[in-house]
Structure formats: C-alpha cells, structure tokens
Amino acid sequence: MTMKGSLLCFALALTLIMAIAIANANANANADSRATSATSATVVRAVNVIQSARTWLSNNRLPSLPIPSGQASQYVSSNSGQADISSNYVQSNVQSNLEALRRRECEKAGLCCTSPFGDRLGENPGKGLQQVSVRQTDGAECALTVMFN
C-alpha cells in the first residue's frame, strides 16, 4: 500500500471512529431518564364526641359525625355534665371552645360555664379521650364547640 493509501485509510478510519463516538453520545443524550417519588397518606378516625354516662347533652343535640373539614360542630348543654372527646387519630389537633351562649347574662349573674381546660381546650394530640366538664346554673346554656384545625 502506498503512503497516500495508508493515510487515506487512516483518515477514513478516524472519521468512522468519531462518527461512532458521536452516535453513541447522541444515543446516550436521547435515552430517557427516570426518578421515583415516595407517596404517603394517613387515614384517621373521626373526631367524636361521646355522650358520657353522666348528664352531658342529656336533652340536646346529638353529635353529627364526623365534623366537616374546616367547620365547627357545636353541642349545647342546658345542664351540668361531662363530655368525652375522642381524638383517636395521629398528628392532628382538635380544638374545643367552651363558652356561654348567653355570656352577658352569665357574667352578670356570675354564673359562667367552666371546664378544667378553661375556655379553650387547645391541642389534643395522640390517642385517647379528653374530658370536658361543664358546670352551670340558673339555666344558662353552655356550648361546646369541637373542630378540626
């Protein structure tokens, strides 16, 4: 083979190698890429207000369960008693607000609704029951408001 022929072969071989390399690079660039995401959900129990064996809600509304999202469910008592609030779900909060429906008259008479938790229950994480006791006299109505937050 002549010198010219050898160089021509070398040049052609070089061209072919580069073409293959470029084709491979393009093939790699055009290959798809994928990524995986974890996904999760937590199913919880409804917040529940249970009529206790005592006299809470004795002649009032029955709880409507579960409490709709972002809304409050209110229960009215016309007598003293106790309610059990079940918050048997994980990493969520229940807030309750205990107040006199007729606060002005209540304050005037010095007969207000009370509970061990004050006016606001606050967070109630974890499982189990939380109790609210209400004492009132003189016919003043007390309202217990339970809501998701």
Partner 1 sequence: MKIFPALSYAALATLFLLMASVTSAQLNPLSIGNTRSLSFGSFVAQAGGTVTISPTSARSATGSVVLVPSQSGYSAQFTVQGDADASYTIDLPADATVVLSGPGADMALTGFTSEPSGAGGRLGITGDQVLSVGVSLQVGADQIQGDYSGSFTVIVTYN
Given the rule CB under 8 A, which residues bind partner 1? 3-4, 7-8, 10-12, 14-15, 18-19, 22-23, 25-26, 28-46, 66-70, 89-93, 148-149
DSSP 49-93: EEE-SSSTTTTSPPPPSSPPTT-EEEEEESS-EEEEEE--SSS--
Nearer Cβ to partner 1 (37/59) = 37
Nearer to partner 1, 12 or 109 (CB): 12
What SS3 class is residue 134?
Answer: strand
Residue 125 CB, nearest distance to partner 1 (Å)?
10
Nearby residues of 79 by Cβ (< 8 Å), 6 or more positions away = 55, 58, 59, 136
Euclidean distance between CA atoms 66 and 63, whole angstroms: 8
- If the CB atoms of residues 46 and 109 are measured against partner 1, the closer one turns out to be 46
Q: Which is nearer to partner 1, 19 or 109 (CB)?
A: 19
Q: In this complex, which beta carbon is closest to partner 1, that of residue 55 or of residue 145?
A: 145
Shortest separation between residue 98's beta carbon and partner 1, angstroms: 21
Smallest distance from partner 1 to CB 6, Å: 9
Neighbours of 119 (CB within 10 A): 13
Rounded Cα gap, residues 103 and 142, in angstroms: 9
Q: Are 60 and 77 in contact (CB under 8 A)?
A: yes
State in angstroms the smallest separation of the CB of 5 from partner 1.
Answer: 8
How far apart are CB 68 and partner 1 at their closest, in Å? 6
